[in-house]
A and B are shown apart, each in its own frame.
Chain A
Amino acid sequence: MKFLVVDDSKTMRMIVKRTLRQAGYGDHEVVEAVNGKDALDKVTAEHPDLILCDWNMPEMNGLEFLQALKSDGDNTKFGFVTSEGTPEMVQTATDNGALFLISKPFTADTFKEKLDPVL
């Protein structure tokens, strides 16, 4: 299985990868992208099984990236990992096809709770 971690912060990409390991997904491959535009290229090249994506990013934000994927007919499993987790954002995320939204701060248990049902 392959994860695509999308975040403009190198620190957060590292933390998401560490949390994946702590949540029991350490054996899986992880590729990274720094914004939505970069992530679109990585989806084409890497064919990930699950995308974990920040919301606020330069160039192309997470929601725009998700919408671009869906408009291309791409149904790769998609979840947000973001600083803001208001009910309105969760609704917007699910309305656009995201399977879940993990808001920071999070723990490995949060990852297991959200990822286990969709993998």
Chain B
Amino acid sequence: MSNYPTISDWMDAVVVSSAELATTMLGMSGAELISIQKGLPEQENAAYISVVGEQSAVQIGVGATPENVQILVKALMGMTPEDEDLEADEVTDAFSEITNILAGQVKTVIGKKSDIVVNLGIPMFIKGELHVPESSEVQVAEAKIGDVPVTFLVMKSVDAGRS
């Protein structure tokens, strides 16, 4: 990896970090990248968090269907998929926390391979269709956390790391 991680470096870090998250706090078997997608994900539930430094500005997102979001947040809270669905505010808090934990691990993974200094922003949970400015480079991946289909998204300013 060069001093400035590419968008693929960031996506690799997301996949590695999600496997760590899965086996520790979600009680799942791991995580795997299925394929890199063309275009943005269709309407879904997703949590995003910014990872920003002087030389890098990246947005990391994890998306899933409402049913699969429920499975993931129940796993985080030590529940089974068959347990009663969580309320909306609990889902927002828990799925944002999943993204926050993931981003913290991504920061650690990137930090071992690059000397850039970044800080985490505040996670947010969004339901709807994603639109991004043309000045952004975006990579979207179809993946699984355990057996749960998810979408990983990395958005990077095209100027980040060039100044």
Contact = CB atoms under 8 A, between A and B. Distances in A.
Interface stretch (A9-17, A35-43, A44-52, A67-75): A9-17
B117 to A, nearest CB: 8
Interface residues of B, number: 23
Interface in A24-82: 56, 82
A105 B24 contact: yes
A106 B25 contact: yes
B120 interface: yes
Interface residues of A, number: 18
Interface of B: 20-21, 24-25, 73, 76-78, 90, 93-94, 96-97, 100-101, 103-105, 107-108, 111, 120, 122
Interface of A: 9-12, 14-15, 18, 56, 82-86, 103-107
14 contacts: A9-B93, A9-B96, A9-B97, A10-B93, A11-B93, A15-B25, A82-B104, A83-B103, A84-B104, A84-B107, A104-B104, A105-B24, A105-B25, A107-B25
